[in-house]
Amino acid sequence: MKGMKADIKKPKHMKQFILKIFTSILVLSSGMYVQAQQPNQVFKAAGSPVNPKVTVTWNRYYDHAGISEICKKIAAAYPDLAKLQSIGKSYEGRDLWCLTITDFKKGNADTKPGMYIDGNIHSNEIQGAEFALYTAWYLTESFGDTKFIQELLEDKVFYIVPTINPDARDSYMHKPNTGSSPRSGVIPVDNDGDGLVNEDSYDDINKDGHITMMRRKNPNGRWKVDPKDPRNMIQVGPDEKGDYELLGIEGIDNDGDGRVNEDGYTFEYDPNRDWGWGWQPNYIQNGAYKYPFSLPENRAVMEFVMKHPNIAAAQSFHNAGGMILRGPGGQEDVGTYNAQDIAVYDAIAKKGEELIPGYKYLVVYKDLYSAYGGELDWFYAGRGIYTYSNELWTPFLMYMRDATRDPFDNASFSFDRYLLFQDAFVPWAEYDHPQYGKIEVGGMKKNFGRAHPGFLLESDAHRNMAFSIYHGFHTPKLEVFEITEKDLGDGLKEVTAVITNSRLMPTHSSQDVKNKIERPDYITLTTSGKIISGMVVENRDLNLSTEQEQNPATIEVANIPGLGSVTVKWIVQGGGKYTVSVDSKKGGTVSASK
């Protein structure tokens, strides 16, 4: 009590005490600080959750702690729709979170056809994490009033890993970097042999919080100020004198070796060259690390996928360029994609071009470059999973028309000026550089050029999410369409069953069938009679069948085609009621009785 009396005598403490009481009253009474609007104050916009349990602002980016918090909130708010687990640890010990999204009240999640989604394998390609996380949020928040989502999650399961490079994501966000680097992780590197690790990467020399560009006035320079926009630099023609020379990215030669920003980036491993298909060492494929799955993050994803053979489709999110990519990464693997699988890829990706304006469907090796040891190739060629990699963001989105992909052209500067109000640019300012003397520092911030501006982030996340849902929707959906019985005499019956697949994807891709990656589909007849014979019907009209000599009750089928069917039949002695059950690793389980 004495201490309390002493505090009351001090006006400063009394003001703090009163302020705390007043703040608590506001929070507990009106809820103004907890919820901006009451449910009866809002009107639902079509296609968007109206009163989400988990409120997330999708016009910004989140570091690993922020992603972790959102994942935990989704799992806590929707225990019947979302389960959260860590599928492994990053190099620095961060959790690789995975949200499993399905209707856990309907069926076994482990046997439903699965869709795997991840993002942010490259540290500077950050929005992939938000796009993946938006998908988990949208599925859970829309489930209550959207019949399509209810039916989707009854049939399918989504495995969503927002970031598979959390260490480098945090490094990119919280440390000095440019919009284009680093791509790798944070494994320590001492490239110059001076005993210091990563000490001469990017220096924020003027301490403004941004890594931009350096320029120096030079009457014989090859650059000049753009007359259309003084913030921009343009190269002069061969017969023209410039006013400036560009010195490169902001930085200092800290170790005195004559190079700026080189330590930690002379060799920059690429986690998308570390997968176990078509892997090549670094001297062939630049960026490869020690051996396939030598990085703990990639190894964790591989082990998760191997433990979930129900995954039939996959999506990874990168940036930038506005592309829907499929493999192969190298021309040597052209033969892994046959006509049947390409037809499935083409059908889904063409719909993607409709859903995501400005995005183009391309093949990596043919339309871009050769890349070996990529995630895209391992998922499809190694596991038989239909997989796309979307390169997020395209300058098309700035003015909804085709534009150059150069982030330093006039279209970008115009967009920054009139739509971002020059928030993406650091004005040129003089700086006395210890090596270069009097220079100027300025340029685009790292959050523009590859990353979406805030107001376009949610829109493009929604469209890419819709593409992923369309992709997941077309994983197999099986049905025991028909069970018929024919009396053969002498107490024998012929029982015929037709199993249909109403979606684009077969239960096994051609790559899967060719390499026997996954076991065949099982079609089982259960009856009180004795099953004498079981067979696969090749032509029902001509009565052409192939008998399975062993274990006739459970017929093994190599594949149930997309938008197709298979027919099987049994010869049964005695019995009456029949139950036909289908067990497919990627097609799920169904049964019917007659």
| DSSP assignments along 306-342, one per residue | HT-TTEEEEEEEEESSSEEEES-SSGGGGGGS-HHHH
Identify the residue whose tokens are 């099953």: 531
Q: pLDDT in tens for each of the 594 residues of the chain? A: 444 444 444 445 655 655 565 555 544 444 444 555 787 899 999 999 999 999 999 999 999 999 999 999 999 999 999 999 999 999 999 999 999 999 999 999 999 999 999 999 999 999 999 999 999 999 999 999 999 999 999 999 999 999 999 999 999 999 888 998 777 765 666 555 555 555 546 789 999 999 999 999 999 999 999 998 999 999 999 989 999 999 999 988 877 777 777 654 445 689 999 999 999 999 999 889 999 999 999 999 999 999 999 999 999 999 999 999 999 999 999 999 999 999 999 999 999 999 999 999 999 999 999 999 999 999 999 999 999 999 999 999 999 988 665 545 578 999 999 999 999 999 999 999 999 999 999 999 999 999 999 999 999 999 999 999 999 999 999 999 999 999 999 999 999 999 999 999 999 999 999 999 999 999 999 999 999 999 999 999 998 999 999 999 999 999 999 999 999 999 999 878 999 999 999 999 999 999
518 given a catalytic annotation: no
pLDDT computed for residue 410 by the predictor? 79
Which of 130, 250, 391, 440 is labelled catalytic? 391
Residue 385: partners with Cβ closer than 8 Å, 6 or more residues away: 116, 305, 311, 312, 313, 314, 379, 509
Calpha distance 256→228 (Å, rounded)? 39
Predicted confidence at residue 4, as pLDDT, reads 44
Domains annotated for the chain, with CATH where assigned, are 35-179+273-407+453-475 (3.40.630.10), 188-268+408-448 (no CATH), 478-593 (2.60.40.10)
Q: Provide the Cα torsion 26, 27, 33, 38; round to 10°.
A: -100
* DSSP type of residue 39: G
Q: Is the pTM of this model over 0.85?
A: yes
Q: Peptide bond preceding 453: is omega within 30 degrees of 0, i.e. cis? A: no
375 in helix, strand or coil?
helix
Report which DSSP code applies to 274: -
